């Protein structure tokens, strides 16, 4: 499993992370197998959020993790907080601190390697966030901090007050959902792809050594469905099949390799709980698509080259 630097820290992380959003559907034995399958593939990075299963995912993971006998120091555990589902976003100091305590209690762990703020809070007071980060760092409950789905200026505002470097930004990214690419390719044009929806976040993260984590790497739209095998993307799937045969892998592997081919050194978050699919995704670490293949996939997803 290839590794990439984690921002400017001394840590390296696998290019693929295990997303834990759907693990509440697994039995304890299946969840132990899920953890062990990722670990055997060289993927020791597990991404949680306090809203996944309303906390059940973290609780189940904590119990299964103990059962596996894997050492805590051999894994990287990340979680997110800030969303009160269907109600509001809350980045207040009190909410962040209470959330982390609850996360650690459910995981049955003493610390998080990384805490992300889950989506932007319009009422964020950066001084409060900074105060919460200081307490969490000093107490040893959180080692590193980051955000998700944030624009450059939102990160700049928070970074002005937080002394801890924000090292991660978690963003939706897949072959069809690649507006981060399109807005840079279609500069100064009156096309849909030219619309800058995120303030050049891709370039910003590269300039500031912020590791991009990609969520929903096989989805189109906002959880509208999986594009692999979908009749909505016939040309894309035909090419995925062709390249899968060339590299003796599956279309899932090729779709994963497309993300990993980008020089921004992104980390793909795999939400799969299937042992076979986990192996297919992990295989992308060993494949480097050619420049022409990367662009062909981009084009068959409906994008253009001006």
CA separation for the pair 43, 74 (Å, rounded): 11
Q: Per-residue DSSP letters for 65-95?
A: HHHHT--GGGSEEEEEE-EETTTEE---HHH
Active-site positions?
A: 52
CA separation for the pair 41, 112 (Å, rounded): 22
Q: How far is CA 222 from the centre of its chain?
A: 15
Q: What DSSP character marks residue 189?
A: -
CA separation for the pair 118, 137 (Å, rounded): 18
Alpha carbon separation from 222 to 87, 135, 226 (Å, rounded): 19, 35, 10
Give residues with Cβ within 8 angstroms of 57, minimum separation 6: 20, 21, 22, 23, 24, 48, 49
Do residues 269 and 47 touch, judged by C-beta distance below 8 A?
A: yes
Q: What is the dihedral of CA 147, 115, 22, 172, to 10 degrees?
A: 20
Burial classification of residue 283, based on how many CB atoms lie within 10 Å of its CB (0-12 exposed, 13-18 middle, 19 or more buried): buried
The tokens describing 275, both together, are 């042992």
Instruction: Count CB neighbours of 148 within 10 A.
Output: 20
7: left (phi over 0), alpha (psi -120 to 50) or beta: left
Decide: helix, strand or coil at residue 156.
Answer: helix
């Amino acid at each position: 499993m290839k590794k990439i630097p984690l921002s400017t820290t001394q840590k390296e992380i696998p290019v693929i992370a295990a997303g834990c959003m759907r693990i509440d559907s697994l039995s304890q034995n299946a969840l132990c197998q899920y953890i062990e399958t990722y670990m055997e593939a060289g993927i020791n990075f597990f991404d949680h959020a306090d809203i996944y299963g309303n906390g059940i995912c973290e609780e189940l993971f904590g119990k299964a993790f103990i059962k596996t006998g894997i050492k805590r120091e051999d894994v990287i555990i990340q979680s997110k907080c800030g969303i009160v589902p269907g109600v509001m976003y809350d980045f207040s100091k009190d909410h962040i601190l209470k959330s982390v305590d609850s996360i650690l209690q459910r995981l049955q762990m003493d610390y998080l390697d990384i805490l992300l703020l889950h989506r932007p809070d319009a009422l964020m007071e950066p001084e409060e966030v900074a105060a919460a980060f200081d307490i969490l760092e000093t107490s040893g409950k959180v080692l590193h901090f980051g955000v998700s789905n944030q624009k450059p200026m939102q990160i700049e505002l928070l970074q002005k007050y937080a002394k801890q470097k924000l090292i991660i930004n978690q963003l939706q990214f897949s072959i069809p959902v690649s507006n981060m690419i399109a807005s840079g390719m279609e500069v100064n044009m009156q096309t849909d792809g030219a619309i800058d929806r995120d303030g050049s976040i891709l370039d910003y993260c590269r300039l500031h050594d912020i590791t991009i984590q990609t969520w929903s790497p096989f989805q189109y739209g906002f959880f509208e469905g999986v594009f692999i095998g979908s009749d909505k993307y016939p040309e894309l799937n035909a090419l995925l099949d062709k390249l899968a045969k060339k590299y003796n892998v599956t279309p899932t592997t090729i779709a994963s390799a497309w993300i990993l081919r980008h020089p921004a050194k992104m980390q793909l978050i795999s939400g799969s709980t299937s042992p076979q699919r986990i192996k297919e995704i992990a295989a992308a670490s060993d494949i480097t698509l050619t420049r022409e293949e990367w662009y062909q996939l981009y084009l068959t997803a409906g994008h253009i080259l001006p």
